[in-house]
């Protein structure tokens, strides 16, 4: 499966702090796209970051709705949290990001990686929209590799993790790392690297950098589509788990073998249903293009470019 999960119901799980310097993490599974949304919170101050939250989008009708946003904010309220940051790891191809809507509803600044500028340039050419997309205007922070920021009493460090896109970033907070579309769960391997600007070679290097984190680091992935032998989504495994069991990059895997496996697999995959619509919205931080004279917004879809 390349995008839509066979699992139909939202699921929420809490991964508790393991002590000083360790965040509480809630994972919220969005069944329409198999995406996992996250709340990362400092147990002491209750300051929280929202990571990769979904603005629901129906690829058949192009209708939007806010069920996932509402569910995430209900969890924030029910757990006495205060939203301090709205974060995305990359401009998603398989779901529409909720960044701007969450910023409006919480007052928290939004952020993504600085190389979104390069991704925007690439997609301006694909869409033939030379004046579209201004990440510097639409995001409050554009993080570089090695940047850090406070989340209550915790520190979040940014790692550049290209491969799936050229500008993907990982957020590392204590013993939790939000690794988005790099790793899948160990029984599913790793994420695709065939989108414009993607690279299986770069992805290999990003995976190795993540595996160099301490063995007890909890890795929280961006997607789960289910796997043979289990009937519920999963999204958390440790660095040690991946080293021992990841079907693509466990200990002993050679770089060349991985790259061949990844590229062979990617050659069989179709584009995500939402991709050509989603990127026009996500490169605007989750905003629609400006409304036209009838009050409606319109998307531009290239024909025969893929």
Q: Find the mean pLDDT for residues 282-293.
A: 97
Spatial separation of the C-alpha atoms in residues 236 and 248, rounded to whole Å: 17
pLDDT for 51-64, tens place per residue? Answer: 999 999 999 999 99
Structure tokens at 221: 């992935």
Strand partners, 238: 218
Structure tokens at 208: 């190795």
* Long-range contacts (CB closer than 8 Å, 24 or more residues apart) made by 145-149: 145/169, 149/85
At residue 134, the pLDDT reads 97
Q: How far is CA 19 from CA 16, 78, 174, 217, 221, in A?
A: 9, 22, 10, 13, 22
pLDDT at 92 over 80: yes
Confidence grade of residue 262 (pLDDT, cut at 50, 70, 90): very high
* Domain boundaries along the sequence of the chain: 11-267
The helix/strand count (H/E) of the chain reads as 8, 16
At residue 4, the pLDDT reads 42
Structure tokens at 187: 């029984």
At residue 230, the pLDDT reads 83
Q: Is 225 helix (H, G, I), strand (E, B) or coil?
A: coil
pLDDT for 122-169, tens place per residue? Answer: 999 999 999 999 999 999 999 999 999 999 999 999 999 999 999 999
Q: What percent of the chain has pLDDT over 70?
A: 97
Tell me if the domain spanning 11-267 has CATH number 3.60.15.10.
yes
Q: What percent of the chain has pLDDT over 90?
A: 93
For 256, residues 6+ apart whose C-beta sits below 8 A from its C-beta are: none
Closest to 5 (Cα-Cα) out of 277, 185, 232: 232
Q: Mean of the per-residue pLDDT values for the chain?
A: 95
Q: Are 182 and 205 in contact (CB under 8 A)?
A: no
At residue 1, the pLDDT reads 30
Spatial separation of the C-alpha atoms in residues 159 and 100, rounded to whole Å: 23
Q: Find the mean pLDDT for residues 274-281.
A: 96
At residue 10, the pLDDT reads 79
At residue 228, the pLDDT reads 76
At residue 8, the pLDDT reads 58
Q: For the chain, give the number of residues.
A: 306
pLDDT for 182-241, tens place per residue? Answer: 999 999 999 999 999 999 999 999 999 999 999 999 999 999 988 778 888 999 999 999
Q: Where are the alpha helices (DSSP H) in 140-297?
A: 200-211, 239-245, 255-266, 275-282
Q: Are 123 and 196 in contact (CB under 8 A)?
A: yes
* Half-sphere exposure (Cβ direction) of 112: Cα atoms closer than 13 Å: 33
Q: Find the mean pLDDT for residues 163-184.
A: 97
């Amino acid at each position: 499966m390349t995008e839509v999960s066979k699992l139909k119901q939202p699921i929420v799980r809490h991964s508790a702090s393991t002590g000083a310097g360790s965040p509480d993490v809630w994972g919220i599974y969005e069944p329409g796209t198999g995406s996992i949304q996250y709340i990362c919170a400092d147990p002491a101050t209750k300051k929280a970051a929202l990571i990769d939250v979904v603005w629901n989008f129906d690829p058949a009708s192009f209708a939007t709705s806010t069920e996932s946003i509402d569910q995430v904010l209900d969890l924030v309220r029910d757990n006495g949290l205060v939203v301090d940051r709205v974060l995305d790891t990359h401009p998603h191809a398989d779901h529409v990001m909720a960044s701007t809507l969450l910023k409006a509803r919480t007052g928290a600044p939004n952020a993504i990686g600085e190389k979104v500028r390069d991704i925007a340039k690439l997609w301006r050419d694909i869409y033939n929209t030379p004046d579209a997309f201004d990440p510097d205007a639409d995001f409050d922070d554009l993080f570089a590799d090695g940047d850090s920021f406070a989340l209550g009493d915790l520190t979040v460090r940014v790692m550049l993790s290209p491969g799936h896109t050229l500008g993907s970033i990982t957020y590392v907070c204590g013993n939790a790392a939000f690794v988005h579309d790099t790793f899948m769960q160990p029984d599913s391997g790793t994420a695709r690297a065939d989108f414009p600007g993607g690279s299986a070679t770069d992805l290999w290097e990003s995976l190795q950098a993540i595996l160099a984190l301490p063995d007890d680091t909890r890795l929280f992935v961006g997607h789960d589509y289910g796997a043979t032998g289990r009937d519920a989504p999963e999204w958390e495994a440790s660095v040690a788990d991946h080293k021992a069991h990841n079907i693509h990059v466990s200990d002993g895997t050679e770089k060349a073998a991985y790259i061949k496996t990844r590229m062979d697999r990617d050659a069989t995959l179709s584009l995500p249903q939402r991709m050509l619509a989603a990127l026009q919205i996500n490169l605007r931080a989750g905003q629609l293009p400006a409304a036209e004279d009838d009050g409606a917004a319109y998307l531009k879809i290239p024909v025969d470019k893929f």
